[in-house]
């Protein structure tokens, strides 16, 4: 189970069930401010909690000091899980063969 899995709530979108499939509607409760955040905005939301310290940013998730230019990728990596030969998105559960494809997915879907 991933870092954010326990904070997620899943329901069914009934508009999609008429189309022949059930799509999960997911929100994530922020572990920093406890606000309910749409799964589409979760990475951007966590990035806003970063504290600037000179040229560095302190990650709100792990309290690690990261260079400003590496901060976005660092936050994205908190949403990555590794299982056998694939990478799993900790926000929506999709799996990917390569880390790069998962990071592109997180960037396009969850930021």
What is the rounded CA–CA span in Å between residue 107 and residue 73?
9
- What pLDDT sits at residue 8? 44
Percent of the chain with pLDDT over 70: 77
pLDDT at 25: 52
12, pLDDT greater than 50: no
Using one digit for the tens of pLDDT, what is the confidence trace for 63-87? 999 999 999 889 888 888 888 888 8
Residue 94 DSSP one-character state: -
- Parse the chain into domains and list their residue ranges: 5-109
pLDDT of residue 82: 83
pLDDT reading at 9 higher than 50: no
- Does residue 83 contact residue 92 with C-beta atoms inside 8 Å? no
Structure tokens at 110: 């969850």
């Amino acid at each position: 189970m991933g870092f954010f899995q326990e904070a997620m709530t899943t329901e069914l979108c009934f508009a999609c069930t008429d189309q022949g499939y059930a799509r999960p509607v997911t929100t994530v409760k922020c572990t920093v401010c406890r606000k309910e955040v749409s799964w589409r905005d979760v990475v951007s939301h966590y990035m806003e909690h970063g504290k600037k310290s000179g040229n560095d940013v302190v990650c709100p998730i792990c309290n690690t000091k990261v260079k400003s230019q590496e901060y976005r990728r660092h936050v994205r990596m908190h949403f990555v899980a590794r299982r056998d030969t694939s990478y799993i998105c900790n926000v929506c559960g999709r799996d990917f063969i390569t880390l790069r494809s998962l990071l592109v997915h997180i960037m396009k879907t969850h930021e």
